[in-house]
Structure 1
Amino acid sequence: MLFEGSHQYDGSLYLDKNDANDANNPVKISSYGTGKATISSGLSDGLMAYNTAGIVIDHLIFAGNATTTNKNSGINFYNDLPGDIKLNSVKITNCEIFGYRDSGIVIGSWNKNSGFNDVLIENNKVHDILDAGISSYGEFSGSKIGYAHSNIIVRSCEVFNIPGYKKNPENNSGNGIVLSDVQHSVIEYCTAYNSGSGNSFSGGGPVGIWYWDADQVTIQHNEVYGMQSGSNKDGGGFDLDGGVTNGIMQYNYSHDNEGAGYLIGQFGGARPMNNITVRYNISENDAATNGGSVYLFNGEGIYKMKNIIVHNNTLVLTIPGYA
């Protein structure tokens, strides 16, 4: 499915289980000619893929009409099939997404461990989204065995101007990239900045790039700056949060954020946290109002956090009035 570049198309795209679903022969949705075509979706999702995969989305612009009126997402993949079915192969590359309330790009599911496998989100610009730039989620349970999604790579994406808002039920809002219910995943070479100012949840604030409820995940070679909290908590650069196991944060640059450059946090009801490594990162002028440059939080008792290793990080803090 090809759209002529530099032209605008009003409406939204919808695919279901009768479309695509062949990882070896994927459906490609892209532009041809000069420039990117714009999908102007008004109040709807820009593209909704329901219980289907085997899809390549490339070289397009998805524009909602405004974060205050469009209550949906730019690109939305959702799986609620019974039987712990993982749908294979999603590629979202070289796109620009803006003007939506929920997420710019979201990989979601809500039926035990059904979800998506082999997801590449690369070289996208996501901005002026109200809640989250790039996200994944599944049906959360602190006692669940397994994960909804696997093999998600987020690479070389730019995410900015994600202010956040008061959500119902209350939760933090204004995150740059936040992935959950995923196993085997990497976020790398991304930049997230100038977000979080509209978060109004007193229990916690947003973070630039983070995982929670995830296993065998890595955050590396990214930059986060200008994150705000909207409260007296969080608003930091990077985070491995509740229920993460076998997680690594390395070679990242966090600077000029309200909260900690690097957070390791465990919340009540999450799966136990184990084997976390934070190394070779730089934090510069972080923790302007909240926490320290590296911050460890445990709301569930020490027995729920094990093997937390922090080493060889560089922390720089400029004190006003001192050279």
Structure 2
Amino acid sequence: MKMKFRKKGVFQYFILLLSVLMFSCSRSTEKCYYVDATNGNDANDGLSATRAWKSLERANQVTFRSGERLLLKRGEVFGGELEVTGKGTSAQPVVVDAYGEGDKPCIAGNDQSLYAMRILNSDYVTVQNLEIVNTGSQPLPGRTGVKIECHNYGVSHNITVNNLTIRDVNGSLVKELGGGSGIYIVNGGDSVVSRFDSLLIENCHILRCARNAMIWNGYHDRRNWHPSKHTIVRNNLIEEVPGDGIVPIGCDSTLIEYNVMRDCPEILPATEAAAGIWPWSCDNTIIQFNEVSDHKAPWDAQGFDCDYNSTNTVIQYNYSHDNYGGMVLICDSGERGFSLGNQNSIVRYNISIGDGVRPNETRIGMFSPGIHLAGPVKNTLIERNIVHLNVKPSAAIDRSMVVSDSWDGYADSTFIKKNIFYTAETSQFTMTESTNNDFSGNWYLGTYTVLPSDKTLKTSSELYQQKVLEIDKNGYQGLYTLMDERQADGKTCHFVNKKAIEEFFEMME
């Protein structure tokens, strides 16, 4: 027994030693490539800062393996397009990053570049700490800053985009012409079904990108349905973007949280519709703890939207304010075949202040309801939201508190419960031909032409009067007590505090 035990121990020792040697060998083959636009030389091997390459074209010749890195020198500007294809692992991802001191290295696309950087058919790749610029001499339809693409590949796992500054992308302002974006996520293919799993976009600053901040293009037809899964979009700042902010398309189980969209310029043509954060052709999307303000699209311009061909969307704990449109749109075009409609949407614990301030005519007048249900959406729950409508800047604004109207059909089974509706001027609820509406236990503060049928309605609240209106009749200062304050690029932003708003509604009872 003793002899057998010793032999087994020696055997285990050699197995352990062999494993260590193999691990060390694999670590030693990991390469780190350097690129320096000023002092580099493409004739170098690129394997140290003193032997750096000069151009992105040289770096584009590498298909990166697990654990390998590509480092761009800080303070440098690299003209052209960076192509990244890598096959990392969870333990050893491929990393594209910065080195040295100073500002982020900047990749500036060429005059006709459709993208300044593309991540193509990759697994376990992290791109971080770069600046991306793609400005041509003329607007170019479809132009983007970063393109993340998976085509005829299969499943692209764990792509991470972190702490990028993406700015000054002049795509088209017209959606039908191809638009443009800061980040464009594309998956598809006929020979090999292709999608993303566990895509992460966080801590990015998207600035002055036309038309949109980030938008997807995936399998949207329910007859050929292969959604990307487990996407997270978190802690991004979107500024001076005139169109759509964050729009997942053809996705399942997407989480969008702690993003800010603000200071949207009023430059879209009169034909254009856009909104802040919204899914299309998606299932199980959660949109929470975001702030959207100052949206000035000629049509829609809501802070949030649950669009058609989507199920089980949850929009919760968000802050919408000072948008031309209202807080939220829930819509269904009524089309069938490729679409299953809009089912089981939940809108709860959101705060809207000063929305619905559209100054110009839209397709049907100056239409800006606080909550808009369009088309045959089904089984929608709108619960415990605060919609605080201030004095309209123009008497011509058509601003109902809630509107349910037609888009090839009408809403059915809408449950509107325990919301706080406040209006500084006379407002109304316009439910048209929608069916099976259930209003229950809402607060209707202010003056309304006609109230909906609500057996447990309340038309006054001492708590709201003291905690909100007496502090600031416009609602901001009082309702800020239900939010957390943070700084984003030197400006204050606000995120709804889950505990605070839930406790506030408990006190309202």
- 1:316 counterpart (381, 384, 388): 388
Cα deviation, 1:163-222, whole Å, max 9, x if unaligned, reads: 3xxxxxxxxxx11111110001111000012336333363x6100111111011100000
Q: Which residue of structure 1 aligns with residue 109 of structure 2?
A: 41
- 1:27 counterpart (83, 94, 98): 94
Q: CA deviation at 1:291?
A: 2.7
Query: Within 5 Å, which residues of 2 pair with 1:29-178?
Result: 29-34=96-101, 35-43=103-111, 44=113, 45-66=115-136, 68-69=138-139, 71=141, 72-81=143-152, 85-100=154-169, 101=171, 102-111=180-189, 113-147=193-227, 149-163=228-242, 174-178=243-247
- 2:313 counterpart (229, 247, 251): 247
CA contact (8 A) 1:242 1:266 kept: yes
* Counterpart residue identity of residue 146, structure 2: I
CA contact (8 A) 1:21 1:88 kept: no
* Counterpart residue identity of residue 307, structure 2: D
Residues 40 and 154 from structure 1, CA distance in 2 versus in 1: closer, same or farther, beyond 3 angstroms?
same
CA contact (8 A) 2:122 2:159 kept: no
Aligned mates of 2:287, 2:334 — CA distance in 1: 23
- 2:373 counterpart (296, 299, 313): 296
Q: CA deviation at 1:87?
A: 0.8
Query: Within 5 Å, which residues of 2 pair with 1:205-220?
Result: 205-220=273-288
* Counterpart residue identity of residue 294, structure 1: I
Residues 69 and 229 from structure 1, CA distance in 2 versus in 1: closer, same or farther, beyond 3 angstroms?
closer
What SS class does the counterpart of residue 214 from structure 1 fall into? strand
Q: CA deviation at 1:32?
A: 1.3
Q: Which residue of structure 2 aligns with residue 167 of structure 1?
A: none
Of Structure 1 and Structure 2, the greater strand share is in 1
Q: CA deviation at 1:50?
A: 2.5
Aligned mates of 2:73, 2:147 — CA distance in 1: 22
What SS class does the counterpart of residue 387 from structure 2 fall into? strand
Normalised by the length of structure 1, the TM-score is 0.86
Identity %: 26
CA contact (8 A) 2:219 2:226 kept: no
Aligned mates of 2:347, 2:381 — CA distance in 1: 6
Q: CA deviation at 1:116?
A: 1.0
Aligned mates of 1:201, 1:144 — CA distance in 2: 34
What SS class does the counterpart of residue 286 from structure 1 fall into? coil
Aligned mates of 2:160, 2:296 — CA distance in 1: 31
CA contact (8 A) 1:221 1:252 kept: yes
What SS class does the counterpart of residue 197 from structure 2 fall into? strand
Q: CA deviation at 1:282?
A: 0.6
Residues 312 and 180 from structure 1, CA distance in 2 versus in 1: closer, same or farther, beyond 3 angstroms?
same
* Counterpart residue identity of residue 3, structure 1: L
CA contact (8 A) 2:287 2:314 kept: yes
Aligned mates of 1:103, 1:127 — CA distance in 2: 10
Aligned mates of 2:296, 2:380 — CA distance in 1: 26
CA contact (8 A) 2:325 2:355 kept: yes
Q: CA deviation at 1:42?
A: 2.5
What SS class does the counterpart of residue 6 from structure 1 fall into? coil
Query: Within 5 Å, which residues of 2 pair with 1:277-292?
Result: 277-289=346-358, 290-292=367-369
Normalised by the length of structure 2, the TM-score is 0.56
* Counterpart residue identity of residue 97, structure 2: S
* Counterpart residue identity of residue 224, structure 2: K
Cα deviation, 1:121-161, whole Å, max 9, x if unaligned, reads: 000000111121011121332433342x1111000001121
CA contact (8 A) 2:332 2:374 kept: yes
Aligned mates of 2:346, 2:77 — CA distance in 1: 46
Q: CA deviation at 1:66?
A: 4.3
Cα deviation, 1:264-323, whole Å, max 9, x if unaligned, reads: 11124332222111000011111223331111111xxx3xx3220001000111115976
What SS class does the counterpart of residue 143 from structure 1 fall into? helix
CA contact (8 A) 1:243 1:273 kept: yes
| Structure with greater contact order relative to length (CA < 8 Å, sep ≥ 6) | 1
Residues 55 and 272 from structure 1, CA distance in 2 versus in 1: closer, same or farther, beyond 3 angstroms?
same
* Counterpart residue identity of residue 196, structure 2: F
Residues 26 and 220 from structure 1, CA distance in 2 versus in 1: closer, same or farther, beyond 3 angstroms?
same
Aligned mates of 2:283, 2:245 — CA distance in 1: 20
What SS class does the counterpart of residue 254 from structure 2 fall into? strand
CA contact (8 A) 2:321 2:353 kept: yes
Aligned mates of 1:137, 1:11 — CA distance in 2: 24
Larger Rg: 2
What SS class does the counterpart of residue 97 from structure 2 fall into? strand
Aligned mates of 2:239, 2:100 — CA distance in 1: 28
RMSD of equivalent CA atoms:
2.1
Q: Which residue of structure 2 aligns with residue 171 of structure 1?
A: none
Cα deviation, 1:5-47, whole Å, max 9, x if unaligned, reads: 122122211134xx43545432111111223111112232121
Unaligned runs of 5+ in 2: 1-69, 172-179, 359-366, 394-423, 425-472, 474-509
